[in-house]
Chain A
């Protein structure tokens, strides 16, 4: 294995899996869709899932709260678990 080349790839540390994040439906009032910036990769999959123009992705994902209808389709598509509903 070419040790000398291990560090030459893209910068950015591989994070540990954030297992056990609260992912889904509301448990109490006031819960809303949020983005964990440290997990978001800006992939735009959530954008494609959203029918309500409630998300913008410019580098990272942001939620436009007044448009969000809590359908949570985006959450199912998020590959990294960066979108949470809590």
Chain B
């Protein structure tokens, strides 16, 4: 491992810094960029992010389509608002492990309501979790403390009870259906697909959290903030660069001082170049990591099997263009519990009007995918939406439908069956939606895992450097 200053030569100069240990981040999703930002803020490492695609942000960004900021996956929502791990990581003070991205204009705007319910064509909205409870039988309110008191900070050992069966002991069916629709919207899974401890923890986290927030300028606002921060701290983000192989450092002469030798191929070029790395933060999912990792690194059969047996979670989302005359006037997530496929919808433009052209609104729906035939699933979802939302056909136009499956899923591992961030190779840690913290959903789960992964990687570099 390289000492902090050694073999001084111009090749090793990066800006005004002298050869620092090299940290490479693979994948410029929100997990990868925030890991890179933490590493770069320390000032101790030479940080480079490689991204296969031509844009940064992965499923947490947006594309502009005639003034509509259409999300690539994350529905412009930060589920736990300012109290969740995501806000702590992005906006928190540096001494508390945050990135202080507020300096770069990153901000979160609260939704105008906590949550909503669409039942039999009628819309209800609540300002807090306590506003939801009166919609259902009193039994649910009385049993809420039982849910909150359940010990679920860690997954229960060898559990076989699914979330729905477990909740049935406490709550009425219509209340569970409402929560289930929320789970469908947020993480593309139903309660009967998840272990009870995950469901319990997820609901506890939601109960104690803030109302959902919309990032200012949409998801890309956060990504731009991260990129500005990276640039200021001397880190590079290389787009359209694909990782082909990860080898031990001594595989190539130029990288023999480093722990890893990474093959990087720029899109459109045939040959790969080799770059050295002392630590890797991988944001591209376990299957992709294992595929590029050389056999010289030992990964236990157990981990390989676990990865091979884990299926990514698919989802389908519609984006609608709405006029300003819609009767629905809030940006809270609205659940539609009665439907087979669709979980709910959100109209983030009531919090952040910049996400749509003036005088228009954008509605984003989400549904889980129980059947692999995507085309029929899209049709089912569309029919359900037009049937359940009475004003949709008069006030809305479908802009596009996004599907997420195969190598571009909603989540690379299902909530409750997350994969380990550590696959047993010293100096490599995974981040992203395959390795979420227990019970944290969406970006909150990604953010919950990032600080630990980065800390491990730093420790590994620092101990390697002194050896």
**Which A residues fall within an 8 A CB radius of B?**
1-17, 19-20, 23-25, 39, 41-45, 47-49, 57-60, 76-77, 79-81
Given contacts A14-B311, A14-B312, contact A41 B407 (CB under 8 A): yes
B interface, how many residues as a size bin?
35 or more
**Which residues of B376-428 are within 8 A (CB) of A?**
378, 400-409, 412, 414, 416-418
Main secondary structure of the interface of A (DSSP, over half): loop
Task: Please state if A10 and B368 are interface contacts (CB–CB under 8 Å).
Answer: yes
Q: Chain B contacts of A7 at CB under 8 A? A: 309, 311
Q: Which of B54, B160, B370 contacts A77 (CB 8 A)?
A: B54
**Which B residues fall within an 8 A CB radius of A?**
52-55, 58, 63, 65, 70, 72, 155, 159-160, 162, 188-189, 192-195, 197-198, 240, 242-244, 265, 267-268, 284-285, 287-288, 291-292, 306, 309-315, 368-372, 374-375, 378, 400-409, 412, 414, 416-418
- Can you show 27 pairs from A to B with CB atoms below 8 A apart? A2-B197, A4-B160, A5-B416, A8-B192, A8-B193, A10-B311, A11-B371, A12-B311, A12-B406, A14-B412, A17-B407, A19-B292, A20-B244, A20-B265, A25-B268, A39-B407, A41-B374, A41-B404, A41-B407, A44-B401, A44-B402, A48-B63, A60-B375, A76-B54, A77-B54, A79-B408, A80-B407
Task: Please state if A5 and B414 are interface contacts (CB–CB under 8 Å).
Answer: yes
**Least CB separation from B378: chain A residue:** A59
- Most central of A5, A8, A15, A59 by chain B CB within 10 Å: A5
Given contacts A5-B194, A9-B189, A17-B287, contact A42 B267 (CB under 8 A): no
- Most central of A9, A45, A47, A60 by chain B CB within 10 Å: A9
Task: Please state if B291 and A58 are interface contacts (CB–CB under 8 Å).
Answer: no
Complex Cα–Cα for A35 and B199 (A)? 39
Q: Chain B contacts of A17 at CB under 8 A? A: 284, 287-288, 291-292, 407
Task: Please state if A10 and B314 are interface contacts (CB–CB under 8 Å).
Answer: yes
Task: Please state if A16 and B287 are interface contacts (CB–CB under 8 Å).
Answer: yes
Q: Chain A contacts of B400 at CB under 8 A? A: 44, 47-48
**Nearest Cβ in chain B — how far from A83, in angstroms?**
12
**Least CB separation from B411: chain A residue:** A9
List the 9 closest A-B pairs by CB distance, nearest first: A24-B268, A59-B375, A9-B414, A76-B54, A2-B195, A10-B314, A8-B193, A42-B403, A17-B288
**Nearest Cβ in chain A — how far from B235, in angstroms?**
23
Task: Please state if A10 and B312 are interface contacts (CB–CB under 8 Å).
Answer: yes
Q: Chain A contacts of B406 at CB under 8 A? A: 12, 14-15, 39, 41, 80
